[in-house]
Amino acid sequence: MSSALSTQDLAPGLERCFLFDAVEDCYEITGITGGIPEWLRGSYYVNGPARFERAGQRYRHWLDGDGMVCALHFTDHGVCFANRFVGTRKLQEEDAAGKFLYRGFGTAFAGDRLRRGLMLEPPVNVSVYRWAGKLLAFGEQSLPMELDPENLATRGEFDFHGRLNEVSPFAAHPKFDPATGHLFNFGISYSATQPVINLYEFDAAANLIQRSRFPITMPHSNHDFGISSRHAVFFLSPLLMDFHRFWREKLSVMESLRWEPERGSSILIAPRVPKSEPPFSVPAGAGYCLHLINCFEQGDILTVDILELEAPVYGEYQPIPDLFTAVSPGRPVRYCIALESKKIVERIVMDYDRTPDFPSIDPALTSAKYDDFWMLGISASGRKGRKFFNQLAHGCWSRGGVRHLFQAQPGVYLAGEPVLAARPGAPGKGVVIVEQINTTNDQAAFLLFDASEVSNGPIARLPLRHRIHPGFHASFFHS
């Protein structure tokens, strides 16, 4: 812990979540306490950064670390755990060299490299999904990597049958239409004259169906988007990328970002079917959105649910391990937009302000009306000093706030998107799976909660043999 935080350590032991060498492993979990529902069969996956040091050099930023995927396989015979690094080009070359070679999202150094001299060599550390018969790990602005769904061995880059290439802009937050199995994603093509959002749609066999392009006025740094039944939705915050600094001054992405709240935020609404209608934008204050929760349409009203912060969060992901020292408050916010008049007709703010992140819904309700969602929160939000996620909150729109809340003990942290493994035939019901890291005894586990009663604590605890790093996004695939 840095000396600046010596009197404000609101996350004791947090360094033990980050500063250790990750171990790849595969084994059947023993010592499980509680009960696993009989219907829970399938695989849980979570991706996240897991290497921050090499040869005495340390990354500064949480997004810099090499991606590692963890899996839980729930079978009739027990639960098996596996974890492996994503075998990217970056990882392989740096393993061979014994040192960092490539510039990171938040770390630049003398002599560092870029892919083709233009972009970061991706660590592929953000998300992971089972789709089209494949397990795909995603990073920012890069092709996904295909992994073996059982042992997580890397099979190579997945280019969607040759329709994309290594410089195609492709984000880490694909959306899946539950009615068709189609995958939607976006990527931003940055240009000094006209940045463009690319919107992709792939069918359930991973064939590219269509690609649309929508000009935007500023080089927004945009991480996520949403889909409704007829539209793709982008919350564009005034966090802007300065490529002059990135390329010519050889700075990190983090150092090249500018927050200009006076420019305001907007919601871009674009048709899912190309050229079926013109895209349009509506002004939406000056908040910052990293993650959307869900979007859906009812008649003329498009509902856009987001987690809205007062300022960007990327600067709070550094320096490792002193994170979130001055993170701004954030809340779930619902925007109701009249499509005919192209105006926001209602803005609803939920009363949970613990800087929530990693929102999760029942995937079967993507782009549909829903009520329940789950998110992680930081109990010490609003206080100065390093801190980390230690709350699991069950949000409920019909109640206007948090329905249930689980609070971890001091020195114990939660991580990874709290994904819902839905009970068959019961939308919005089931089990929520969350990663737990206990820094008081250096033990890690996965916790299972009844999705409707998270405040009662976990119904099962799955202890691991060794520590794992805090994950980012997760998913569950029913067998």
| Number of independent structural domains in the chain | 1
Task: Specify the CATH number for the domain of residue 137.
Answer: 2.130.10
Q: CA 96 to CA 93: how far, in whole Å?
A: 5
Which structural domain range is residue 431 located in?
3-478
Q: Which residues pair with 60 in a beta bridge?
A: none
Instruction: Please choose, from the candidates 256, 307, 269, 266, the residue with its C-alpha nearest in 3D space to the C-alpha of residue 286.
Output: 266
Supply the DSSP string of 23-65, one letter for each residue. --EEEE----EE---TT--EEEEEEEE---EETTEE--SGGGS
Reading the chain (479 residues) residue by residue, the pLDDT tens digits are 444 444 589 999 999 999 999 999 999 999 999 999 999 999 999 999 999 999 999 999 999 999 999 999 999 999 999 999 999 999 999 999 999 999 999 999 999 999 988 899 999 999 999 999 999 999 998 999 999 999 999 999 999 999 999 999 999 999 999 999 999 999 999 987 899 999 999 999 999 999 999 999 999 999 999 999 999 999 999 999 999 999 999 999 999 999 999 999 999 999 999 989 999 999 999 999 999 999 999 999 999 999 999 999 999 999 999 999 999 999 999 999 999 999 999 999 999 999 999 999 999 999 999 999 999 999 999 999 999 999 999 999 999 999 999 999 999 999 999 999 999 989 889 999 999 999 999 999 999 999 999 999 999 999 999 999 999 999 999 99
Instruction: Name the DSSP class of 89.
Output: H
SS3 label, residue 84: strand
For 254-308, how does the pLDDT look when each residue is reduced to its tens digit (9 = 90+)?
999 999 999 999 999 999 999 899 999 999 999 999 999 999 999 999 999 999 9
Helix, strand counts (H, E) of the chain: 3, 34
133: left (phi over 0), alpha (psi -120 to 50) or beta: left
Q: CA 447 to CA 33: how far, in whole Å?
A: 10
For 189-206, how does the pLDDT look when each residue is reduced to its tens digit (9 = 90+)?
998 789 999 999 999 999
Residue in the structure block whose two tokens are 């073996």: 148
Specify whether the CB–CB gap between 328 and 314 falls below 8 A: no
Query: How crowded is the C-beta side of 271, counted as CA atoms within 13 Å?
Result: 8
Specify whether the CB–CB gap between 12 and 390 falls below 8 A: no
Q: For the chain, state the CA radius of gyration.
A: 21
Long-range contacts of 181-187 (CB under 8 A, 24+ apart): 181/131, 181/132, 182/209, 183/131, 183/132, 184/227, 184/232, 184/272, 186/222, 186/225, 186/232, 186/234, 187/141
Q: Which residues contact 72 (CB under 8 A, 6 or more apart)?
A: 29, 43, 44, 79, 80, 81, 433, 446, 462
Specify whether the CB–CB gap between 85 and 137 falls below 8 A: no
Instruction: Please choose, from the candidates 348, 330, 346, the residue with its C-alpha nearest in 3D space to the C-alpha of residue 338.
Output: 346
